[in-house]
Amino acid sequence: MMSEKKVALVTGGTRGIGKACVEAFAREGYDVAFSYHSSVAKADELATSLSSETGVSLKGYKSDAGDAIACKALIESTINDFGRLDVVVNNAGITRDTLMIRMSDEQWDDVIQTNLSGVFHTCRAAAKVMMKQRSGAIINISSVVGVYGNAGQVNYAAAKSGLLGMTKTIAKELGPRGVTCNAIAPGFIETDMTHDLNHKEELLKAIPLKRFGQPEDIANMALFLADKGKYITGQVIGVDGGLVF
C-alpha cells in the first residue's frame, strides 16, 4: 500500500531512545515502522497501543542490526508495506564494555558490526529510495562517548565516533538530492543501557543542568530534524545537558 502519511523507520524501537522516537513520530502523525531484536510480544503491544492512541499505522520487524542482508531487507519490507520512506532513525546498538587490554576480538567485532556497519548498510539501502524521491532525512544516534571517548568502551566509542564521519560524508553525497543526514550525540540518558552506571553522583557534577536526560529529549530532537530542520545537514548535535568531560 502507499501510505498517505509520511513514514518513519526507527531501528531498535521497543525500548529506551528508540521507543521514545517511535512514540514521538506516531503522535506527530507519521506511520511508523520499527525494528526489534528479541521480544515479539513487546513489539506487537507497542504497535497496537500506539495505533489505537494515534490512529496511525505501525509495524514492527524482527531484524538483526548487525546483519547486512537483514538491514537491506528491513528497508525493502518497509517500502513494500508502507509504499514510501521519509525518515530513518538509526538507533539500534549494543555494548560489550571492558578495558581495551581485556577486550576480546568478538567483543570488538560485535559492537563495530552492529553499531557502525549496521548503520552503513541501513543508510545505503535507504539512500537509494530517498535519492529517487528527492527527499528524506537520515538521523544517526551517536553518543557523547563518540565525541570525547570513555574508558572501558573503546569499541563503543570507536563505533559512535565512526558514525560522525559517516554522517558528514552521507550529508555531502545525498544533499544534492534533497536528503539530509545528521547525528545526535546523547549524553547520559536514563535508559536500560545506563541504569547500572557507576559513580552517578560524580557524573552529575559534570552536567550543568544537574540531571540526566530522558529518552524523549532525544526523540524531540530527531523529530525536529525530520520536520523543521530541513536546512540542517551534516551536523552533530549534542543533547547532553551541557556535559563537560
Whether the per-residue pLDDT at 1 is higher than 80: the answer is: no
Phi, psi of 85, deg, nearest 5: -150, 115
Whether the per-residue pLDDT at 195 is higher than 90: the answer is: no
d(CA 94, CA 60) in angstroms, rounded, equals 19
pLDDT band at residue 38 under the 50/70/90 scheme = confident
**Residue 245 counted as domain residue:** no
Give the mean model confidence (pLDDT) for residues 117-142.
Answer: 98
**Residue 68 counted as domain residue:** yes
Whether the per-residue pLDDT at 11 is higher than 70: the answer is: yes
**Residue 33 counted as domain residue:** yes
* Domain of residue 130, CATH code: 3.40.50.720
Whether the per-residue pLDDT at 197 is higher than 80: the answer is: no
**Residue 244 counted as domain residue:** no
* Residue 156: active-site member: yes
From residue 122, how far is each of 11, 64, 119, 229 by CA, in Å? 9, 11, 5, 22
Specify the number of domains making up the chain.
Answer: 1
0.85 surpassed by pTM: yes
What's the confidence (pLDDT) of residue 194?
Answer: 65
Structural domain boundaries, residue 112: 7-239
